[in-house]
Amino acid sequence: MEGGEFDPEYIVDLATLTGAIVVALGNQITGMWANDEGIGKRVRKAANRSGEPVWRMPLNAQFRKYMTDSAFADIRNGSIGGKAGSSNTAASFLEYFVPHRGYDEDADKIPWVHLDIAGTAWGPGSKARSEGANPLFEFGVSGVHVRTLHRLINDG
């Protein structure tokens, strides 16, 4: 199955993708990237109403240009300068694979959101470094953003 085969309304992915987001936002806020303002606002609203805060991070041409400016490959998964901007570069790498509607390069890409849960996935009861302000973090793996996704799907 391919990403656009069923023409979804939107795509949301969650991953413990980078340690860099922990440096940027700590263990209480999840980094969020979106290629569409509408779905970004909907996810942020669902997250806030669920008590699972997110912070919008940039997707911009600087990161995409670096990844696609190669004499050897269509795309490379690497940062602009070592660790600098690495969470943004990683999200841009994922965004590269979001399909266009109907696989038509002239069509808009399917609205997409990436949540980097590297900082929020674990609570202090396991390996995390947070103080546990969110009650979900008390016992280990938090299940972070399950409530957000439930609210997003049910509330529209």
pLDDT of 70-124, one tens digit each?
788 888 776 656 667 678 888 888 898 888 887 777 788 899 999 999 988 876 5
In a domain, 62, yes or no: yes
H-assigned helices in 8-85: 20-25, 37-49, 61-68
CB neighbourhood size of 9 (10 A): 9
CA–CA separation, 103 vs 112, rounded Å? 15
The pLDDT value recorded for residue 72 is 83
Q: Which domain holds residue 125?
A: 11-155
The CATH number of the domain holding residue 59 is 3.40.630.10
CB neighbourhood size of 97 (10 A): 11
pLDDT of 130-151, one tens digit each?
455 556 556 667 789 999 999 9
In a domain, 142, yes or no: yes
In a domain, 73, yes or no: yes
Burial of 10 (0-12, 13-18, 19+ CB in 10 A): middle
